Structure 1
Amino acid sequence: MTANGEAAGGLGTGDGEAIVALVGAPNAGKSVLFGRLTAEYADVSNYPGTTVETTAATVGSTRLTDTPGVHGISSFSEEERVTKEAVLEADAVVNVVDATQLDRDLFVTLQLLDMGVPTVVALNMMDELEADGVYVDVDALEAALGVPVVPTVAVTGSGVDELRDRLPEASAPASTPVDSYYDALPDAVEASRAEKTLLVEGDEPTARRVAARGLVADGGDAPLADAGAREAVYRERRSRVRSIVEAVEREAGPGRAAEQRLGDLLMRPMTGVPIAIGLLAAVFYVMGVVVAQRVVGYAEGVLFDRYYNPAVEAVVADLLPGGEWAAPVEFLLVNGNLGLLTITVQYVLGVLLPLVVAFYLAIGTLEDAGVLPRLAVLTDRGLSRIGLNGRAVVPLVVGVGCVTMAVISTRMVGSRRERLIATALLGLAIPCSAQIGVITGLLAGLGLAWWVGYLAVLLGVLGVAGVFLDRTLPGRAEPLIEQLPRLRVPRPGNVARKTANRSAAFLREAVPLFGATAAAVSTLDYVGALDAIVEGLRPLTAAL
């Protein structure tokens, strides 16, 4: 029985596959918990909006779905629409609640229970709650909600086994105070409890769904309750949240005062801008000096030039028999310009990969620490001048590592218009880590003035292109509404896992492209066509 049905019981025990959706607010830990429950990797970061589509995996007879973070089950945003559909299709829901944000996250919990969705609550981040000196009475919370509540720490796996064991206990109260508002709907409307709740809350797609199924006697549109009923439902639900929090949670002490002061410093222009510049300067120093010069220099000069390339050349020479076809094959594999097994491997693994790994280590650390959302608030005013809001700082910064990953991350920016602007700017003005490595090599011996000039050109292109696109494309930037996660010490395991997965994704994309390009260029070089192309382009390059 899915949430569209009337059952308030637990997870089905039939022969079919049970569908369980993980639902909760942004940054509540759904994706970490999904990974713990399924052994599948979902990108996990300490900023909202990491998951913007559903991710599913099957464990035994249960199919788990990780949904986008939301503050309500409705259709006001793409994330809410995706999550609503997942909830309506699910047999049960694991509602992931941030224990440090009960007053925020229980709104979604009560909405799920009002909809009659069988639910188990994963009360996550209990370690951070304890670090703040705050206590939540889990038994009292379970009694108040009427559904199982399991305390968890997803990043360490604490409580995950108990959560898995209690999934069959998923349930929902037989009735809630919202039931009384169903009287605002005509008797002719026949719909599930979940759909009636959404109709009362003014969800137009649900109204169209009900009408399309012919569940309205007169054949017209399924009527929505008026705005007054919706506001009354929200007020009543918010009142229940406050009552529950007051009953189960003790007042927080002063433990987070230092964290809050640091967060304020990051978001004030007078202090945040220098801190942001310092952080980015540190990132680029590590990438441009430590990695691009020392690590890459050692990899190229020692590992590849001294050991790897000579060994591969010797093996290829021994394996290839004599004959007319051996010479072109050997040239393709081990030539000194772009041999598939020598220079191409050296460039991908010895030059690009160290830069990519270094960047993702840096960006993963900033993500896990909760710094990036505060950079979004800090940069919101400046980015609004080029048609973006502060959330675009994430793909723009990620683009310095890999533009492809950055384009994917533009899904968290907001509207389609802003995604188009961000994607265009990534292509025009944001150098990836591979380009930075080349640029660093070119500018290393030219002095500071050349670096300043290069950065000025990049900023100029960014500003001019952004203003042009902002004035050309219809619409305007959406206002920034950002839920700030806590500042915390980055977790090395999570940072390492993200870095490994992102770097592997880079290799999966880069290796075929570099291999195909190297093969094509080597073929042109062998037949003599490359020299002709170079000579043909010489007047143009000389002019430049």
Structure 2
Amino acid sequence: MNMTNNLHTLILYILYGDFGLLTIVPYFLFKILFPIITSFYLLQLFLLESDLLKILSFKLDKGLNKFGLSSNTLLPLLLGFGCVTVALGTLQLTENKRERRIAQILLCMIIPCSAQLVINTVLIFQTGKSYLMAYILVISFLFLISGYLLNRCFPGSSPPPKGSIQTYKRRYHFMFPKIWPLLCRSVGSSMAFLAETAVPFAVGNVIVSILSYCGLIHKLCMFTAPLFCNFLKLPEDAAAIFILSIIKKDLGAASLLALFSNGNFTEAQIFICTVMLTLFVPCLASMIILWKHERKWIAMVIWILCLLLSIMIGKVLCILLILP
């Protein structure tokens, strides 16, 4: 009888709990993710169809060179705001090994995927405009300084753009595309993205719910308490967020959203967590891409760099905000 009751309680928790299939999952997929993903795809298609992306790539080439990049890596970087895993796969088409390496590190270390970016934006908006501006400034500064340092660390230089300015101007010019076909394609791409995302996200939520129900997440929180509670001045629940982010970053961000809704975090702690999650280690899928296409030690170095940067920046923000 007790086993039946426990199973019934577990099923209810999986369906309606903090990470419920019928509560968090639909809310996240359709109310938060879908409209912003559609907007992202619409912007991306507009840039491609209007040739504006190619024009910008050529004009931004000199600026990108200061960070060890060129116009060839602009599209993968933009794709990273959709899905870092896809962007890493696209980078394999970049011939220049130096550029590819720098872009890989920046994608894994700084650029949040669309799902994570959406949740981070929602969280930061709830904490106030000052934290929103601070988040943008911190991430932008880290991107610029990281790119500059990587450009200094890796020997060599970026290749010049192919063709002269005159040739480029003759070949590409801005053309305003028809919006309705772009909108239809954006909605279709968004639905395909949601269909692909829904299953792993739901499975992840089920796993998290089971772990939470069985008390395993609490045990992990206790194990990592010295780091999150004493060193970073964050609640014990923060451990679960970062553990989930190792599997899939949007799972960690969605967990943070749920915990913030329950009042477990202060605004300052939410700000620190969103910055740390942005800088945190690549998700499992991204690591698989790196592991497949690069040397194993390079993938591990990138993973460790992301981990150390996230903890270091989290501690700096903790000191600056003077968390008790």
Q: TM-score, structure 1 length as denominator?
A: 0.37
**Matched residue, 1:541:** 228
Where 1:337 maps in the other structure, the secondary structure is coil
| 8 Å contact kept, 2:73–2:103 | yes
Structure 2 residue aligned with 1:511 = 198
User: Are 2:11 and 1:329 equivalent residues in the alignment?
Assistant: yes
Distance 1:385 1:414 in 2: 19
**Are 1:455 and 2:136 counterparts?**
yes
- Any idea what SS the aligned residue of 1:444 has? helix
Q: Quote the Cα distance in structure 1 between the aligned partners of 2:158 and 2:121.
A: 34
- Report deviation, 1:367: 1.8
Is the contact made by 1:373 and 1:391 (CA closer than 8 Å) also made in structure 2? no
User: Which letter does structure 2 place at the counterpart of 1:460?
Assistant: F
Which consecutive residues of structure 2, in runs of 5 or more, have no partner in the other structure? 233-324
Aligned equivalent of 1:422: 103
Q: Deviations over 1:441-473 (max 9, x none)?
A: 333255554334322322232233223333344
- Tell me if the contact between 2:41 and 2:186 (Cα under 8 Å) persists in the aligned partners: yes
1:469 corresponding residue in structure 2:
150
Aligned partner of 1:206 in structure 2 is: none
1:529 paired residue among 199, 207, 216: 216
Give the distance between the partners of 2:43 and 2:118, measured in 1 at CA.
16
Deviations along 1:8-41, one digit per CA (max 9) or x if unpaired, are xxxxxxxxxxxxxxxxxxxxxxxxxxxxxxxxxx
Which letter does structure 2 place at the counterpart of 1:523?
Answer: I
Partner Cα separation in structure 2 for residue 450 and residue 326 of structure 1: 42
The one-letter amino acid of 1:507's match is: L
How do residues 304-315 of structure 1 correspond to structure 2 at under 5 angstroms? none
Change (3 A) 1:497 1:421: farther
2:179 maps to 1:492: yes
Q: Distance in 1 between matches of 2:156 and 2:199?
A: 39
Once the two structures are superposed, residues 87-119 of structure 1 have per-residue CA deviations (whole angstroms, 9 ceiling, x without a partner) of xxxxxxxxxxxxxxxxxxxxxxxxxxxxxxxxx
Q: Residue 69 of structure 2 aligns to a residue in which SS?
A: coil
Rounded to whole Å, the distance in 1 between the matches of 2:189 and 2:92 is 17
- Indicate if the aligned counterparts of 1:428 and 1:461 stay in contact, CA closer than 8 A: no
Matched residue count? 222
Contact 1:386 1:469 in 2 (8 A): yes
2:70 paired with 1:389: yes
Give 1:415 deviation, angstroms: 2.1
Superimposed CA distance per residue, residues 294-314 of structure 1 (whole angstroms, 9 cap, x where no aligned partner): xxxxxxxxxxxxxxxxxxxxx
Show the 5 A alignment for 1:360-375. 360-375=41-56
Tell me, yes or no, if the aligned pair for 1:375 and 1:393 is still in contact at 8 Å. Answer: no
Partner of residue 57 from structure 2, selected from 376, 386, 404 = 376
Residue 330 of structure 1 aligns to which amino acid in structure 2?
Answer: L
Cα drift, residue 523 of structure 1: 0.7
In the TM superposition, what is the alpha-carbon distance from 1:513 to its structure 2 partner?
2.6
1:345 to 18, 26, 38: 26
Query: Counterparts of 1:433 and 1:398 in 2: how far apart (Å)?
Result: 9
Contact residue 55 and residue 173 of structure 2 kept, 8 A: no
- Whose radius of gyration is greater, 1 or 2? 1
CA distance in 2, matches of 1:470, 1:512: 39
Cα deviation, 1:328-382, whole Å, max 9, x if unaligned, reads 23332x1321123432232223222222111111221222222111211221111
Q: Does structure 2 conserve the Cα–Cα contact (< 8 Å) formed by 1:368 and 1:491?
A: no
Matched to 1:437, the amino acid is: V
- For 2:176, what is the secondary structure of its paired residue? coil
- Equivalent positions of 1:406-445 (< 5 A) are 406-411=87-92, 413-444=94-125
Q: Kindly provide the amino acid, as one letter, of the partner of residue 10 in structure 2.
A: P
- Retained in 2: the 8 A contact 1:391–1:412? no
1:502 aligns with 2:184: no
Task: Encode CA deviations 1:51-110: one digit per residue, 9 max, x unaligned.
Answer: xxxxxxxxxxxxxxxxxxxxxxxxxxxxxxxxxxxxxxxxxxxxxxxxxxxxxxxxxxxx
Distance 1:507 1:411 in 2: 25
Partner Cα separation in structure 1 for residue 70 and residue 62 of structure 2: 7
User: 1:359 pairs with 36, 40, 51, which one?
Assistant: 40
Percent identity over the alignment is 30
Per-residue CA deviations over 1:498-519 (Å, capped at 9, x if unaligned) read 4245324533542233123212
For structure 1, the residue ranges without an aligned partner over 5 or more in a row are 1-321
CA distance in 1, matches of 2:85, 2:20: 26
- The structure richer in strand per residue is 1
Q: Secondary structure at the match of 2:172?
A: coil
Equivalent AA in structure 2 for residue 519 of structure 1: V
Amino acid across the alignment from 2:139: L
**Structure with more helix by fraction:** 2
Where in structure 2 are the equivalents of 1:153-168 lying within 5 Å?
A: none
Distance 1:530 1:368, change over 3 A: same
Alpha-carbon distance change, 445 to 329 in structure 1, aligned in 2, over 3 angstroms: closer
Counterparts in 2 of 1:445 and 1:462: CA distance versus 1, 3 Å: same
Pair 1:537–1:486, CA change in 2 (3 A): same
TM-score, normalised via structure 2 length: 0.59
Given the superposition, is the C-alpha separation of residues 501 and 408 from structure 1 closer, same or farther in structure 2, using an over 3 Å criterion?
A: farther
Q: Pairwise mapping of residues 394-409 of structure 1 onto structure 2 (< 5 A)?
A: 394-409=75-90
Aligned mates of 1:421, 1:498 — CA distance in 2: 32
Deviation of 1:425 (Å): 0.8
Structure 1's 390 and 350: CA in aligned 2 closer, same or farther, altered over 3 A?
same
